[in-house]
Amino acid sequence: MAKPKVRFVCRECGYISPVSLGRCPSCQSWGSLEGEKEAPAASGASLSLLGPSAVISLAAVPLSQTQRLSSGLGELDRVLGGGMVPGGVTLLSGEPGVGKSTLLLQAAANVAQNGGKLLYVTGEESASQVRLRAERLGLKLEELYVLAETEVPVILETAAQDWDILVVDSVQTLRIPALGLAAGSPAQIRESAAALTALAKKRNIPLWLVGHITKEGGIAGPKILEHLVDAVLYFEGEKDRPTRILRSFKNRFGPVNELGVFEMTGAGLGEVTNPSELFLAERPRGAAGSVVTPVLEGRRSLLMEIQALVSPSPLAMPRRQTLGADPSRVGMLAAVLEKKARLKLFDRDIFVNVAGGAKIAEPAADLAIASAIASSWLERPLPPKLVVLGEVGLAGEVRRVGRIGERLAEASRMGFTQVLGPAAELAESEKQLKISVVGVRHVREIFTAEIGLSVPK
Ligand code: TYD
Ligand code: MG
């Protein structure tokens, strides 16, 4: 008989190696490769619980089977692209404690209240712990059904009855006993998720899978599942802040990079319908180095505050540190300011922070970052009702940004009256805008434009 082949799978990133290695060549983590038998046949056994399927013409698919289901949470529905899709599998990942279980339990209660039959499978907490949480959240307990179970065949059997939505919290606790591996090992996670996904597709019900990611920001387990599921949502937030941000990272049925904002309170997650207000709440007035910029997050525009601190460096290699902004982008902008606008930065430390724990990835924030650095260097604040936008090129040229109308509409909605940005584009739309315009063509012009800076000496 042929010896069963063994392969080694990285617990952190899913990398597969034919030989055992001390360090994963893909994600560089140590001791993360685990041996497993190739192509375990066990999932077949659990899948056979599902029975045979029928072939159907697309035209014969009833429309009711394609209608989205609301989670009752507007911010969650938005990130999903308008609600849950029947047969759609969504992976909700995030660090332990961020609020994944809370979010799904609140959604579950809404669904139940609207007459939906939702089964909440909890592998992580006991049924009584879930009850305690639901009581704390003030949810109606009667219509909420929980199954405290980790064995996949049992879950499949139970879920094959008439449930409209299935939530499984979390994939790391699931086990197919026939695999003979510990829960949380890559093969268990993959095979368990595959079996549950097959069930959701077959019964045409939405399935939620919760997956933890590791503290270091590395993605354990869930990474292996990303290709298997229809949508991947990340729930993010800092421990000591109430703000929680939900992002779609992949979505077969909706937009990606869509963003939902929540606030963790004593009574669960509250929806933040005006995130600009939240991100600007603690903005210092008249402080040098603080600049507001409108960024696009999915289909909406939000205002965020960028803060820069420029100070003489005691180091031979001055620091360029960022929180929420791309460090290489900030390094590039510092070089452009130095070379093209004669701002001496080579002996300064530069720190850039996006307030409120938000993240900015768009080049459209370049001019705002450059202005924040210049404002801190000169110790001169910018006008309090000014927003700044525009991409900055290596020659120092200020370029256009996408969907400027939406950005400026959000700025004026939030009470901003002045915009600094790409001259050509602002001139085109000046008449339609309810905001006064300061156009620049080159980054050096920010020192001569009437926004309170001065030419550096
Ligand atoms: P939880 O949903 O258990 O996180 P996850 O499932 O992602 O691990 O959230 C746990 C945290 O949320 C915990 O630190 C307590 C806090 N919390 C509140 O602040 N308010 C609440 O109403 C609830 C239920 C939890
Ligand atoms: Mg949890």
- Of residues 115 and 419, more confidence is placed in 419
In short, whether 96's Cβ falls inside 6 Å of ligand 1 is yes
Task: Name the pTM for this structure.
Answer: 0.80
CA dihedral 342, 343, 346, 351 (to 10 degrees): -150
> What pLDDT, in 10s, does the model give residues 131-156?
999 999 999 999 899 999 999 999 99
Helix, strand, or coil here: 376?
A: helix
Tell me the C-alpha distance between 203 and 51, whole Å: 11
In short, whether 83's Cβ falls inside 6 Å of ligand 1 is no
The pLDDT score that the predictor gives to residue 408 is: 92
Most confident residue range from 20-34, 69-83, 428-442: 69-83
> What pLDDT, in 10s, does the model give residues 410-448?
999 899 999 999 999 998 877 777 789 999 999 999 999
DSSP 140-202: -STT-EEEE--BHHHHHHHHTTT-SEEEEE-GGG-B-GGG---TTSHHHHHHHHHHHHHHHHH
pLDDT score of 43 more than 80? no
The reply to whether omega before 170 is within 30° of 0 (cis) is yes
Tell me the C-alpha distance between 319 and 54, whole Å: 63
The pLDDT score that the predictor gives to residue 146 is: 95
In short, whether 356's Cβ falls inside 6 Å of ligand 1 is no
> What pLDDT, in 10s, does the model give residues 234-246?
998 877 888 899 9
Distance from Cα 144 to the centre of ligand 2, integer Å: 17
pLDDT score of 220 more than 80? no
- Of residues 53 and 39, more confidence is placed in 53
Residue 325 identity (one-letter amino acid): A
Q: Which two tokens stand for residue 334?
A: 């510092």
Please state the rounded mean pLDDT for residues 177-182: 87
Tell me the C-alpha distance between 200 and 103, whole Å: 21
- 17 with 7: CB under 8 angstroms? yes
pLDDT score of 177 more than 80? yes
pLDDT score of 211 more than 80? yes
Please state the rounded mean pLDDT for residues 255-284: 89
- 88 with 66: CB under 8 angstroms? no
Tell me the C-alpha distance between 145 and 121, whole Å: 9
**CA of 338: how far to CAs of 24, 119, 322, 345, in Å?**
40, 59, 18, 6
Task: Count Cβ neighbours within 10 Å for each residue of 303-337 and write b for 16 or more, e otherwise.
Answer: bbbbbbbbeeeeeeebebebebbbeebbebbbebb
Residue 309's DSSP bridge partners are 351
Report which secondary-structure segment, H or E, holds 133.
helix 127-136
Domain spanning 278-447, CATH class? alpha beta
Domain residue extents for the chain: 1-38, 69-273, 278-447
For the beta sheet containing 16-17, the strands, ordered from the edge strand earlier in sequence to the opposite edge, are 16-17, 6-10, 33-37
Distance from Cα 97 to the centre of ligand 1, integer Å: 6
User: CA 235, 359, 318 angle in degrees (round to 5)?
Assistant: 135
In short, whether 94's Cβ falls inside 6 Å of ligand 1 is yes
Band (pLDDT 50/70/90 cuts) for residue 3 is low
Helix, strand, or coil here: 410?
A: helix
- Of residues 346 and 32, more confidence is placed in 346
The pLDDT score that the predictor gives to residue 278 is: 85
Tell me the C-alpha distance between 339 and 449, whole Å: 19
Q: Tell the CATH topology of 69-273.
A: Rossmann fold (3.40.50)
* Percentage of residues of the chain with pLDDT beyond 70: 93
The pLDDT score that the predictor gives to residue 45 is: 46
DSSP state of 61: S
pLDDT score of 288 more than 80? yes
Distance from Cα 298 to the centre of ligand 1, integer Å: 26
In short, whether 97's Cβ falls inside 6 Å of ligand 1 is yes
DSSP state of 403: T
pLDDT score of 89 more than 80? yes
> What pLDDT, in 10s, does the model give residues 376-396?
999 999 999 999 999 999 999
- 246 with 345: CB under 8 angstroms? no
Q: Which two tokens stand for residue 436?
A: 């006064």
Pocket test for ligand 1, best of 102, 215, 235, 236 (most atoms within 8 A of CB): 102
The pLDDT score that the predictor gives to residue 281 is: 85
The pLDDT score that the predictor gives to residue 7 is: 85
Q: Which two tokens stand for residue 266?
A: 């004593």
Helix axis angle, 327-341 relative to 366-378, nearest 10°? 60
Band (pLDDT 50/70/90 cuts) for residue 365 is very high
Residue 58 identity (one-letter amino acid): L
Distance from Cα 122 to the centre of ligand 2, integer Å: 9
Q: Which two tokens stand for residue 138?
A: 């003030």
CA 448 remoteness from chain centre: 39
The pLDDT score that the predictor gives to residue 195 is: 95
In short, whether 102's Cβ falls inside 6 Å of ligand 1 is yes
The pLDDT score that the predictor gives to residue 222 is: 66
